[in-house]
């Protein structure tokens, strides 16, 4: 079997699957259950100064698919509402009992140097493996000058990171907010401040639903609501892009990345790892399905690695980055055309309708004398947009076939019609 063990920013773990800082890691009871199920590490729910904040009720809402599948999850919960003393005591005991697992402590404090100087030795004394600076929480805490209010200002990110490197020997992981125009800027700031790694993404500002009877957004607290942090499967594409942006940025080259956002199975994790992550963090999937989902994650990733000949995580980590570039460098002469496998086609017509109404009218509907229908691609009209393949309900029925155009590689920077073209 493939070796799933990792060393992330100097932190050892038996596998790359960690629980993110969130309700599932708020107390020793949950964390112990997670370790018993096989998780490689946890990021303890964010600690702050005493007295802890007061959470509200209710706290969660969801964005559902047609069959009530949760595709997006929203929360307005704050950092831990348990005392610092209780959390530190439990962290100490858990790390003592589970020395082979990664235990990272998430922290959020005001931008006051003394506050960080005071808490860091207490965290270090627990035996924890590292700290994660929560610069991402988008609700409640920014109103107090913390969370995303810090993560959106690169100068603050660098400043606090420097404090933590000054007053602690533990590896410092900086958790980034996605609620920003260019994710590379705070990542560069963290790197400049001496961060050992970054983690992303934190949750996205959102309102998931509105109760149209009461005319209040969800979740409802008394007679009001507010925006919360969005996570779950729906945010995965955003997270993958932001991870890749940092991983291929020359100014943060080599900075370890812990990937977060919509990871629910081994394939999701493999995609994050392939785009440059060195570990992955999971929250929503565990909250919806329980801790034992890690068994399938580990087994699936191990089997896939065996099938591909990857002996270790490092063997494929970042392997997709070489094929990830800016749009301007894509080959404008590359062409694919749709092809329909008639033996698999169920003649539902979805490809024809989608192409006829919203694309390039390149799929013909042929009706025989007996009323049966057949769909064929009009190759000279097809631009290879993939819409028909996406709408087709039968896997493998429609494929995109590469065409031999005889034209050399040419990107936008080389196109003579582009006034900015060189050469």
What are the residue numbers of the active site?
137
As given in the structure block, the two tokens for residue 152 are 């959106």
Four-point Cα dihedral 351, 357, 363, 368, nearest 10: 90
What is the rounded CA–CA span in Å between residue 117 and residue 115? 5
User: Does residue 12 contact residue 102 with C-beta atoms inside 8 Å?
Assistant: yes
Query: What Cα–Cα distance (Å) separates residue 394 from each residue in 315, 341, 348, 391?
Result: 33, 10, 10, 9
First to last CA, the chain: 51
What is the rounded CA–CA span in Å between residue 92 and residue 125? 8
- Within 10 angstroms of residue 358's Cβ, the number of other Cβ atoms is 11
Burial (CB count <10 Å: 0-12, 13-18, 19+), residue 7: middle
Angle between helix 293-308 and helix 28-37 axes, rounded to 10 deg: 40
Provide the 3-class DSSP secondary structure of residue 183: coil
What is the rounded CA–CA span in Å between residue 197 and residue 130? 10
User: Does residue 188 contact residue 249 with C-beta atoms inside 8 Å?
Assistant: yes
Angle between helix 266-274 and helix 293-308 axes, rounded to 10 deg: 50
DSSP-assigned states of every residue in 9-38: TTEEESSSEEE-SSGGGSSHHHHHHHHHHT
- Within 10 angstroms of residue 258's Cβ, the number of other Cβ atoms is 27
Burial (CB count <10 Å: 0-12, 13-18, 19+), residue 402: exposed
């Amino acid at each position: 079997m493939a070796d799933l063990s990792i060393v992330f920013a100097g932190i050892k773990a038996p596998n790359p699957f960690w629980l993110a800082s969130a309700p599932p890691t708020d107390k020793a009871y949950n964390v112990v259950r997670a370790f018993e199920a096989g998780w490689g590490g946890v990021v303890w729910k964010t600690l702050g100064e005493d007295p802890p904040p007061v959470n509200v009720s209710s706290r969660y809402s969801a964005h559902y698919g047609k069959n009530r599948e949760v595709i997006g999850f929203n929360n307005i919960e704050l950092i831990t509402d348990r005392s610092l003393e209780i959390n530190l005591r439990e962290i100490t005991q858990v790390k003592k009992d589970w020395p082979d697992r990664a235990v990272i402590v998430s922290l959020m404090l005001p931008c006051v140097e003394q506050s960080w100087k005071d808490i860091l030795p207490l965290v270090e004394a627990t035996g924890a493996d590292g700290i994660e600076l929560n610069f991402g929480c988008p609700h409640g805490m920014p109103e107090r000058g913390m969370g995303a209010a810090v993560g959106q200002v690169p100068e603050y990110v660098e400043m606090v990171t420097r404090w933590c490197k000054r007053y602690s020997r533990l590896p410092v992981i900086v958790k980034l907010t996605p609620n920003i125009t260019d994710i590379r800027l705070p990542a560069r700031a963290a790197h400049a401040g001496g961060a050992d790694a970054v983690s992303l993404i934190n949750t996205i500002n959102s309102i998931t639903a509105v109760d149209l009877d009461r005319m209040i957004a969800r979740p409802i607290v008394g007679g009001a609501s507010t925006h919360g942090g969005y996570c779950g499967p729906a945010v995965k594409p955003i997270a993958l892009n932001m991870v890749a942006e940092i991983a291929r940025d020359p100014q943060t080259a080599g900075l370890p990345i812990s990937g977060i956002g919509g990871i629910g199975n081994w394939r999701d994790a493999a995609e994050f790892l392939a785009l440059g992550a060195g570990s992955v963090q999971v929250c929503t999937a565990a909250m919806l399905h329980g801790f034992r989902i890690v068994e399938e994650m580990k087994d699936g990733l191990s089997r896939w690695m065996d099938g591909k000949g990857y002996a270790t995580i490092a063997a494929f980590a970042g392997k997709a980055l070489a094929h990830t570039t800016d749009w301007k460098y894509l080959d404008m002469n590359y062409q694919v055309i749709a092809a329909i496998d008639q033996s698999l086609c169920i003649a539902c017509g979805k490809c024809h309708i989608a192409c006829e109404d919203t694309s390039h009218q390149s799929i013909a509907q042929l009706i025989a004398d007996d009323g049966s229908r057949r769909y064929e691609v009009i190759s000279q009209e097809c631009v290879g947009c993939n819409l028909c393949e996406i709408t087709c309900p039968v896997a493998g029925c429609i494929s995109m076939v590469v065409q031999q155009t005889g034209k050399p590689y040419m990107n936008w920077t080389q196109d003579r019609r582009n006034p900015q073209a060189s050469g």
